[in-house]
Chains A and B, each alone.
Chain A
Amino acid sequence: MSIHEWFLRKKTEKQQKNGASERLNIPENLWLKCPSCKSTIYIKELNENLKVCPKCDFHFRLSASERINLIIDSGTFKEMSITLKSTDFLGFVDSKAYNKRIDEAILKSGLNEAIVIGEGLIENIKTVFGVMDFSFMGGSMGSGVGEKFTRMIEHSIENKIPAIIATSSGGARMQEGILSLMQMAKVSAALGRLRENGLPYIVLLTDPTTGGTTASFAMLGDIQIAEPKALIGFAGPRVIEQTIRQKLPKGFQRSEFLLEHGMIDLICERKDIKSTLAKILRFFEE
């Protein structure tokens, strides 16, 4: 069996097992250590608690499909541009060929790109919703993510419905060179149009959101919501530490820090996100 065939078989197996994409696919009879409070949690309990640690409130990362299930009314999500994929136009090879990285990310996440976009209802209110998946190359933004985000905003303008994005991204996808940087310009220009059309744009920042993603669409919401303790920043903490050669203050670049400094509107517990979004949408609807 060639490696390619092996991957294909693995992919089919995985899809059969999980339906769409499932990140924390650990059998339900297992225990897990919370990375924040180090206490041992029963995974079933964690899942029932929307992947929030019952002991310390640590918010585990969600996959795109988990996020959709959390926020969009059941059965109403109509995905758009499903087949859109990144391509290795530079022939970029670091420790691995970018081509191969894309294939692996597709297998690992069950998605074609680091963002899923579509139309759906939130408590019966029509929205266009985008969600990033960190398991796909760290949610990085290349041409694929930039294009899909732009289409989502254009869909919002054409159909006069509000746009919501849940972010989770390390920033620009370096394997696409300058074109990844240009996506920042492209998505921001789309948001310029959205704004001129008077449509609301809401951002839900989840852990982590940094780099070119924050320096473009993730910080341009009319309303900025963040999950508790999410890492949100321009430069990564390691880069800053290396630059200034001193330890960073506790809680630096976390949601609470951003709220304190006036960079976001509110922090919202995972269980309250859907109802909060619905309230905001109803405000704009009237």
Chain B
Amino acid sequence: MKEINNETKNLLYFEKDLKDLYQKITELQKLSEKEDLNLEEEIRMVKKRIDTMRQEIFNKLEPQQIVQVARHIMRPSTLDYINFIFEDFIELHGDRNFGDDKAIVCGIAKLNGQSIVIIGHQKGHTTKELINRNFGMAHPEGYRKALRIMRMAVRANKPIISFIDTPGAYPGIGAEERGQSEAIAKNLREMSIFTVPFISIITGEGGSGGALGISMGNRVLMMEYSIYAVISPEGCASILFRDSSRANEAAKVSKITAKDLLGFGIIDEIIKEPIGGAHNDYEATAKNIKTAILKNLNELSKFSPRELVADRYNKYRKMGIFTE
């Protein structure tokens, strides 16, 4: 995926200082062709400079900037990761009631030879793909498909891995008619009693109930530049501050970054991303995810089915801060 690195159009607004350096690379390349010069060393130096600068920028990202990374059009979601992490993937479709929701993909695969069930939101990298996947916003049939496949995993005694990347469950007429809230609620209740190891990974946007609806894992992991929130910073700003342009503030105060949520004990682990975020190197990102999955699966494999249910119940039971 190195070619993406050279596309300045994918730079985020806070990376604009890198644009000149990318242009310099292009100029050097042109010059080297035209004059038949060997400028590889110079190009390498500029690339190194880009990496250093990018690392510096990413070391001090504001929450709302992390939101932009999490939403980057080239950010990998479920199908982008599957081939790097798993073998023998077969996608399974449909909820057997109404339809097949393309915003959630499900399937079976092998992970280092072990059978695994995969559930995940799917976005896209072009407008056409995004529309086809409804921007990763699932309808009730998406949650019901996920439940059908997850229950199959429980019957077959196979672990479940879910990948989360959604702005939220879709708010529309059809979604309401077909019971969006019932679909999510039922998933929450059923996920709580799964007798198999269940790992959820927030890869991009963890958008409220739409995210939670497939992410009640025994372990919840978050990518370094992903977010997980009860409402988007823009939604929060427009409802509570009555001004959607105050999303920066809302992002800060709502504590939605991986670091914040690890501190609150909401998530268990942060998965590192390559310099400049997951979209700069799918393969390296997938490798980090695979390592994390294997480690956590190994730990969970020591639990009996009953212990897995108890572990999950206790995990969520103790969430909440109040006085008495």
Residue positions of A touching B, CB distance < 8 A:
81, 83-87, 89-95, 143-144, 146-147, 150, 172, 174-186, 188-193, 195-196, 211-212, 214-220, 233-235, 239-240, 243-244, 248-249, 252-253, 261-263
Tell me how many residue pairs across A and B have CB atoms closer than 8 Å: 183
Residues on the B chain within 8 Å of A175, using CB = 240
Q: Are the CB atoms of B317 and A150 closer together than 8 Å?
A: yes
A174 and B171 contact, Cβ closer than 8 Å, known pairs A90-B255, A185-B188, A240-B176: no
Indicate if the CB atoms of A192 and B212 lie closer than 8 Å.
no
Answer whether residue B67 sits at the interface, using C-beta atoms and an 8 A cutoff: no
Asked whether B114 is an interface residue with its Cβ less than 8 Å from the other chain, the reply is no
Are A240's CB and B253's CB within 8 A?
no
Is B218 in the interface zone, CB < 8 Å from A? no
Size bin of chain B's contact surface? 35 or more
A174/B209 in contact, CB under 8 A: no
Cβ A85 vs Cβ B324 within 8 A? yes
> Would A192 and B190 count as touching, CB distance under 8 A?
yes
Q: Are B322 and A240 in contact (CB under 8 A)?
A: no
B175, B209, B313: the one contacting A184 at CB < 8 Å is B209
B229 touches A178 (CB 8 A): yes
Asked if residues A181 and B208 are in contact (CB atoms below 8 Å), the reply is yes
For A243, the closest partner residue in chain B by CB is B171
Q: When chains A and B are docked, how far (Å) is the Cα of A249 from the Cα of B173?
A: 9
Task: List the interface of chain B (C-beta within 8 A of A).
Answer: 169-173, 175-182, 184-186, 188-190, 192-193, 208-209, 212-213, 216, 228-231, 236, 239-242, 253-256, 261, 264, 266, 312-313, 316-317, 319-324
Check if B181 sits within 8 Å of A218, measured CB to CB. yes
In the assembled complex, the CB of A138 is this many whole angstroms from the nearest CB of chain B, namely 11
Contact A243 B172 (CB under 8 A): yes
In whole angstroms, what is the CA distance A192 to B189 when docked?
Answer: 5
Chain B CB within 10 Å, residue with most, of A182, A186, A216, A234: A234
A-B contact pairs, 13 of them (CB 8 A): A174-B231, A178-B229, A178-B254, A179-B266, A185-B192, A189-B189, A190-B317, A192-B190, A192-B192, A215-B169, A220-B189, A240-B172, A252-B176
Given A175-B240, A215-B180: 19 more A-B contacts, CB < 8 Å = A81-B324, A84-B324, A172-B208, A176-B321, A179-B320, A181-B212, A185-B188, A185-B216, A186-B319, A214-B182, A217-B185, A219-B185, A220-B185, A233-B181, A234-B175, A234-B176, A234-B180, A243-B172, A262-B179
Assembled-state Cα–Cα distance A85/B261 (Å): 23
